[in-house]
Structure 1
């Protein structure tokens, strides 16, 4: 993968300010011990990658080779540069927002800057985020109904057993539930609260039909569409604050580093099972 360069791994390791789990387990939706582990990190890249000529946006690691599906115990890790993560979070990307809301026991690494970022999570919540949730939800529903091109499954084994990809369906409904909660409360509860958690787990096991899944999706889509216009949230995230915070964060980080990107110190946070070391 183009983002798995060893130099990028070192940048991710040295500059990590926040790393956490973002997959099924953190949502409370894993149904067996065969789940892989998805993690996301945010790192401060060295100055030559920000104001110099070098370029870094993200580092990616998979414990399985390319084109091999992850299985039990496998790790998929994506570490974004702080600037790229912030751009995506300000735009309301549903997956990128998750590190702001995961519970403490889902955090692998966190520094003072990481704590500070999470403390300001409400700065990133806006009706624009609701539109992003809605867009992903609608696209997935249309693919499942066959009215939009593109693949809606890579799990033929689930289609063979249940008649449709139950994992795709539960991700689709999860997006709707979380988008509605974010617009109504300005927050995301992780793991997903009951009774929705049990309903989604049952869907993943094939205990609800494709028709039931689509009916619930349509209902969530209608609710979320209305909330995107009426929610008591700002129309866009606080980009002016984020701009000031980024400048300060980079300056504070670089002031504590020795000269040279390769000698940047490791994160001061707590870390475990780190493939970048």
Structure 2
């Protein structure tokens, strides 16, 4: 997969969380800018490119902004990575890092992170309904680790306005995964506890994100890549 105009890209997933094991895949997430002129045609460019071997997801800048403004936990990781995990970091990408807190709104962060955590809870319960196998147990443990991570990271973001990608005490996540693999209902108290924490905490975030900052940044991206295309198309004097 060849995608041009990548603005920001880095290693995410279990490697970034500090939860990877020897057989874990290395996941990459990034953002690119479609050439501005291509956005004016009859058929607009693809907004996402997903590949395996290597595992990489790239979202077009506008789609990434929409997902981030909705509080999407997966795309939000891209602007909170430790510096050493970035593989592409352009000036426009740097500017996006500078406005990352404006993309946050208390209600959307709470609903998105708790919503994703609840999805993980349902997945582990659905997998736990069948005949137990070693593979099923591994899948349940993985969903349980994600559930705990989403609750922990989402609450931190909601309460402090900061997001720490690498988890504290990775072994506690693996231990929680093993406990839930043995008994899927063991995940319910943690989920309920975080629901109560969210409900009982006043967020430092505004109720809604500031879309104006994202809009201004995106228009800057469009100007940048329109200018380059126009200059390339201008015949020499």
Give the TM-score normalised by the residue count of structure 2: 0.86
Cα deviation per residue 1:3-37 (whole Å; 9 max; x = unaligned)? xxxxxx44x2x21000111110101111x211101
Residues 1:156 and 1:87: Cα distance change in structure 2 (over 3 Å): farther
Out of 78, 84, 108, the position equivalent to 2:57 is 78
C-alpha separation between the residues in 1 aligned to 2:128 and 2:94? 36
Is 1:248 the counterpart of 2:220? The answer is yes
Alignment RMSD (CA, Å): 2.5
2:7 counterpart SS class? strand
Q: Which residue of 1 aligns with 2:175?
A: 202
Is 1:57 the counterpart of 2:33? The answer is no
C-alpha separation between the residues in 1 aligned to 2:74 and 2:174? 19
Out of 49, 74, 77, the position equivalent to 1:95 is 74
Give the count of matched residue pairs.
Answer: 227
C-alpha separation between the residues in 2 aligned to 1:115 and 1:48? 24
Out of 8, 13, 25, the position equivalent to 1:23 is 13
Residues 1:236 and 1:156: Cα distance change in structure 2 (over 3 Å): farther
Structure 1 gaps of 5+ residues are 1-8, 64-74, 261-277
Cα deviation per residue 1:79-100 (whole Å; 9 max; x = unaligned)? 0000000000011101010011
C-alpha separation between the residues in 2 aligned to 1:138 and 1:87? 22
Out of 209, 213, 216, the position equivalent to 1:237 is 209
Q: Which residue of 1 aligns with 2:134?
A: 157
Greater Cα offset, 77-86 or 213-222: 213-222
Residues 1:202 and 1:58: Cα distance change in structure 2 (over 3 Å): same
